[in-house]
Amino acid sequence: MTAPTWHYENFDPTGSAIGYRVTRKLDEVQSPFQKIEIFETTDWGNLMLIDGAVMLTTRDNFLYHEMMSHPALFTHADPKRVVIIGGGDCGTLREVLKHPGVESAVQCDIDEQVTRMAEKWFAELCESNADPRAQLLFDDGVAYMANCAAGSVDVVIVDSTDPVGPAEGLFNKAFYESCFRALKDDGILVQQSESPLALLGLIKEMRAEMAKAGFGVFKTLPFPQPCYPTGWWSCTLARKPGADAAFGFREDAARGKAFPTRYYSAGVHRGALATPPFVAEALGG
C-alpha cells in the first residue's frame, strides 16, 4: 500500500461494522484451518485477522486477555493447574503465568500458525512461552479435554474464536461434559461469550449447554473490547453445583497482586460482578 486505506469488517448479526486505517499488509498465511493476515494500522498497532474477522490489535488486546484470566484465577481458592483451549496468540497464557501459584498451564490450540504469527508480530504476548510451567500443544482442543484425567484441572479457559469453523465444537454439551469431568469439584470453567449487548441469545444457549453438562452456577462478566462487534464483550464463568462461595473472589489477593495489569483490578472485578439489569433479566442473573 502506498497510502493509508481502510479495512472494514461487516458484522451481519449486529448490523454494524468496524474499521481500521491500515498502511500495509505485513504478513499472510493460509493454514490447513484458516487464513491469517497481519496488517499495520496507523493508530492501533498491528492487527490480526482470521478468515477476515478481527482477532486482536496491539492497542486493546490487554482488555480481553486480562478479563479471560484474572477473574477466574482470583475466584478459585488456589489454582495450580490451568488448561487453555484455543488462545493461540498466547496473551491469555501470559496473564495466567503472572500468578506465581500456577504450577502448570497447558495451551492447546489446533492451529500452530496462529502462534507463529503472534511470535512474529505480537512478540509481547508470547514473552511467557518459554516459562517452564507452560506447555504449548497444537492439537484438537475437544479431543484434549476428552482425554484429560478426571478431577485433574483447576481452571479451564476456553479462549476461542466465534462458534464457527474450528471453534464450533467448543460451544456444546459434549465439550462441556469433558470440561466438567476434568475439573476438580471446586474448578472453574471460563469461556469467551461474545457481546452481551447484541448476542444475549448465544450466551443464554451457551449457559444452557453448560447446565446440561452438569454445571450448576454461572456468571457472565462484561468488559469493553473496542475491536469486537459492539465494542462490548464478555466471559462466562461456570462452576459445579454446590461450589463454595460461587463467584466471590479473593479480593484482598487481587488488590495486593504483585504483577502489573492495565485493566484488571479488584475494583474492576467487583464492578463486573454487578450484572446490568437487562442482562440479568435475559440470563437469570
Q: Is 171's pLDDT higher than 80?
A: no
d(C-alpha 240, C-alpha 218), whole Å: 9
Query: Of the candidates 87, 46, 49, 56, which has an alpha carbon nearest to the alpha carbon of residue 69?
Result: 87
Give the confidence band of 243 by pLDDT, cuts at 50, 70, 90.
low
Q: DSSP code of 109?
A: -
Give the confidence band of 186 by pLDDT, cuts at 50, 70, 90.
very high
Task: Give the pLDDT of residue 2.
Answer: 60
Q: Write out pLDDT tens, residues 245-278.
A: 689 999 999 999 999 999 999 999 999 999 999 9
Task: Give the pLDDT of residue 63.
Answer: 98
Share of the chain above pLDDT 70, in %: 94
Mean pLDDT to the nearest integer, 117-133:
98
Q: Which CATH number fits domain 5-57: 2.30.140.10, 3.40.190.10, 1.10.1380.10, 3.30.9.10?
A: 2.30.140.10
- Please tell me if the domain spanning 5-57 has the same topology as the one spanning 61-283: no
Q: Which CATH number fits domain 61-283: 1.10.10.10, 3.10.20.30, 3.30.300.130, 3.40.50.150?
A: 3.40.50.150
Task: Give the pLDDT of residue 260.
Answer: 96
- Cell (9 digits) for 243: 461450589
Q: Is 43's pLDDT higher than 80?
A: yes
Q: Write out pLDDT tens, residues 95-121.
A: 999 999 999 999 999 999 999 999 999
Q: Is 111 a catalytic residue?
A: no
Mean pLDDT to the nearest integer, 193-221:
93
Q: What pTM does this model have? A: 0.95
| Enclosing H/E stretch for 20 | strand 16-30
d(C-alpha 211, C-alpha 207), whole Å: 6
What angle is formed at CA 42 by the lines to CA 121 and CA 109, rounded to 5 degrees? 30
* Residue 160 exposure: Cα atoms within 13 Å on the Cβ side: 26
Domain residue spans of the chain: 5-57, 61-283
Task: Give the pLDDT of residue 162.
Answer: 60
Active-site pick, 159, 162, 185, 244: 159
d(C-alpha 211, C-alpha 217), whole Å: 8
- Cell (9 digits) for 215: 454445571
Task: Report whether 282 contacts 204 (CB < 8 A).
Answer: yes
